[in-house]
C-alpha cells in the first residue's frame, strides 16, 4: 500500500511538476492540500487526485507521511510549524529555511524570519553532499535551482583545491521562465520575454548565499549573474575559473571520483558540454568541461531542469530519503 504525501501549492509550476512525478511513484500517493483558492486551476478536465483542506485537522486526519510545501517563503514559514506538529515530515521548496541564521535570512530576503528555531533545525537538502543528515531530518530545505546547478559543479573542485580562488569564480547563469513562478507579472509576460534576453539580480541574487554556504567560497570570490531565457524550463550555468590542473580529463576525473555511484550526475567526455535538451524533464545534473592548459583558463557547463533537479525532483529525492525509501524511486 502507498504512503500518502501532501502537496501545498499544487497549482504552481513546481507543485504541478511534483504531482506529475508522483503519479509514477510506486510507493507514494499525492494528496492535494487546498490552501488558497486565488490561483487558477490547470484546464477544464476533472483532476483525479484526492484533495483536502490545508488545515491541521485535515492533514492530521489524513495520516500524511510527508508534506511538500511548494509555496512562497512567507506561507512556508506559516505552515511548517503545524505540519510538523501534525506528525508529517516537511520538504520545503521555498527559500524560507535555507540560510541557517536569521541574520543571513534578513540580509538576503529583506525580512525577519518568524521561525528561527525551525530555521536552525532545517537540513539543507542537496543529497549528493548531505544525504545522511537528510535521512534523519524532520524539515528539509530544498535547495534553490541556481545553487543546485552551481554547487554540484563547483564544490568538488573547491574541495579538491584546484581552483585559483584569488582570481575568483564567475558563474554566468541562465534560467527558463518557469523559475519565476506562475503568478502573472509584466516581467514574465509572453510579449516581454519572447525574442528577448536579459540579465537580472546581478551580484545580489538571493541564491548567492546558498552557493557560498555549500561551496565554502567567500563572497568576493564568487561573481554571479542570473539571466532570463525565452523558454519554459531549464538552467544552464557557464562557470569560469583558473586552474593549474593540466587537462580537462584531469578535471573530469575529479568529478568522476566524487560522484561515483551518484544516480543523478552525468559527467561529459572532456571537451563536450550539455545543453538544456539533455536534462529537461529529468532529475539529472549534467556537467561538461573545457580547458586551455596553456593559460589555465577552465570553463565548466552545468545544466539541470529547474523544475526537476532544481525543485520538484530534488524535493522528491529528499522526501524519499526522509521516508526511508530508495532515493531514486519515481525519478528514473
What residues are annotated to the active site?
Answer: 145
For its own copies, the closer CB: 43 or 324 = 43
State the sign of the Cα–Cα–Cα–Cα dihedral 214, 219, 221, 224: positive
Where does this chain touch its own copies (CB under 8 A) — which range of 53-61, 117-125, 162-170, 207-215? 162-170
- Nearby residues of 54 by Cβ (< 8 Å), 6 or more positions away: 6, 8, 33, 34, 35, 79
* Residue-wise DSSP of 229-262: -SSSS-EEEEEEEE-----HHHHHHHHHHHTTT-
Where does this chain touch its own copies (CB under 8 A) — which range of 98-106, 111-119, 166-174, 321-329? 166-174
Residue in 79, 28, 1 with CA at minimum distance from that of residue 315: 28
CA distances (Å), origin 315, targets 15, 80, 93, 262: 10, 15, 7, 16
Q: Which of 142, 280, 306, 320 binds its own copies (CB under 8 A)?
A: 280
295 binds its own copies (CB under 8 A): yes
Q: Which of 109, 182, 253, 263 binds its own copies (CB under 8 A)?
A: 182
What residues pair up with 304 in beta bridges, in sequence order?
235
Residue in 242, 243, 328, 256 with CA at minimum distance from that of residue 288: 256
25 binds its own copies (CB under 8 A): no
User: SS3 of 110, please?
Assistant: coil
What residues pair up with 173 in beta bridges, in sequence order?
226, 237
Where does this chain touch its own copies (CB under 8 A) — which range of 98-106, 145-153, 196-204, 255-263? 196-204
Q: Which of 54, 86, 193, 208 binds its own copies (CB under 8 A)?
A: 193
Q: Which residue has the cell 516581467?
A: 187
282 binds its own copies (CB under 8 A): no
For its own copies, the closer CB: 81 or 293 = 293
Where does this chain touch its own copies (CB under 8 A) — which range of 108-116, 254-262, 275-283, 321-329? 275-283
Contact map string, positions 63 to 82, toward its own copies, x by CB under 8 A: --------------------
Question: Cα(138)–Cα(49) distance, rounded to whole angstroms?
Answer: 25
Q: Which of 162, 299, 323, 329 binds its own copies (CB under 8 A)?
A: 299
192 binds its own copies (CB under 8 A): yes
Strand order in the sheet with 123-124: 50-53, 28-34, 3-8, 66-69, 89-92, 139-141, 123-124
Q: Which of 188, 212, 213, 329 binds its own copies (CB under 8 A)?
A: 188
178 binds its own copies (CB under 8 A): yes
Size of the site for its own copies (CB under 8 A): 68
Q: Which of 37, 110, 220, 261 binds its own copies (CB under 8 A)?
A: 220
328 binds its own copies (CB under 8 A): no
Shortest approach of its own copies to residue 282 CB, angstroms? 11
User: SS3 of 124, please?
Assistant: strand
Where does this chain touch its own copies (CB under 8 A) — which range of 60-68, 83-91, 135-143, 186-194? 186-194
User: SS3 of 45, please?
Assistant: coil
Question: Cα(332)–Cα(329) distance, rounded to whole angstroms?
Answer: 7
Question: Cα(129)–Cα(122) distance, rounded to whole angstroms?
Answer: 15
260 binds its own copies (CB under 8 A): no
Is residue 137 a contact partner of residue 122, using CB atoms and an 8 Å limit?
Answer: yes
Q: Which residues bind its own copies (CB under 8 A)?
A: 13, 40, 43-45, 166-168, 170, 172, 174, 176-178, 182, 184-186, 188-199, 202-203, 219-220, 223, 225, 227, 229-234, 236, 238, 240, 242, 266, 268-269, 272-278, 280-281, 286, 290, 292, 294-297, 299, 301
Amino acid at each position: 500500500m502507498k504512503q500518502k504525501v501532501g502537496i501545498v501549492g499544487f497549482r504552481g509550476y513546481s507543485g504541478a511538476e511534483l504531482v506529475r512525478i508522483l503519479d509514477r511513484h510506486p510507493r507514494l500517493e499525492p494528496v492535494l492540500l487546498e490552501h488558497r483558492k486565488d490561483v487558477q486551476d490547470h484546464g477544464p478536465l476533472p483532476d483525479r487526485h484526492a484533495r483536502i483542506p490545508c488545515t491541521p485537522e485535515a492533514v492530521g486526519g489524513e495520516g500524511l507521511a510527508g508534506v511538500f510545501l511548494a509555496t512562497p517563503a512567507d506561507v512556508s514559514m506559516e505552515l511548517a510549524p503545524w505540519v510538523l506538529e501534525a506528525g508529517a515530515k516537511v520538504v520545503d521548496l521555498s527559500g524560507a529555511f535555507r540560510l541557517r541564521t536569521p541574520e543571513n535570512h534578513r540580509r538576503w530576503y529583506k525580512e525577519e524570519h518568524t521561525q528561527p528555531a525551525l530555521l536552525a533545525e532545517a537540513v539543507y537538502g542537496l543529497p549528493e553532499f548531505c544525504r545522511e543528515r537528510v535521512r534523519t531530518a524532520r524539515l528539509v530545505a530544498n535547495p534553490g535551482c541556481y545553487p543546485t546547478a552551481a554547487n554540484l559543479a563547483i564544490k568538488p573542485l573547491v574541495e579538491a583545491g584546484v581552483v585559483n580562488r584569488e582570481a575568483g569564480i564567475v558563474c554566468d547563469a541562465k534560467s527558463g521562465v518557469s523559475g519565476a513562478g506562475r503568478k502573472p507579472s509584466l516581467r514574465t509576460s509572453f510579449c516581454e520575454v519572447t525574442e528577448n534576453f536579459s540579465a537580472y539580480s546581478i551580484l545580489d541574487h538571493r541564491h548567492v548565499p546558498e552557493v557560498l554556504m555549500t561551496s565554502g567560497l567567500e563572497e568576493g570570490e564568487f561573481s554571479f549573474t542570473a539571466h532570463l531565457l525565452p523558454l519554459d524550463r531549464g538552467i544552464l550555468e557557464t562557470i569560469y575559473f583558473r586552474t593549474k590542473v593540466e587537462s580537462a580529463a584531469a578535471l573530469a576525473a575529479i568529478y568522476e571520483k566524487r560522484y561515483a555511484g551518484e544516480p543523478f550526475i552525468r559527467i561529459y567526455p572532456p571537451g563536450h558540454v550539455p545543453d538544456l535538451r539533455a536534462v529537461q524533464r529529468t532529475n539529472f545534473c549534467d556537467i561538461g568541461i573545457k580547458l586551455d592548459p596553456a593559460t589555465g583558463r577552465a570553463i565548466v557547463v552545468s545544466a539541470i531542469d529547474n523544475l526537476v533537479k532544481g525543485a520538484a525532483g530534488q524535493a522528491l529525492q529528499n522526501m524519499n530519503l526522509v521516508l526511508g525509501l530508495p532515493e531514486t524511486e519515481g525519478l528514473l
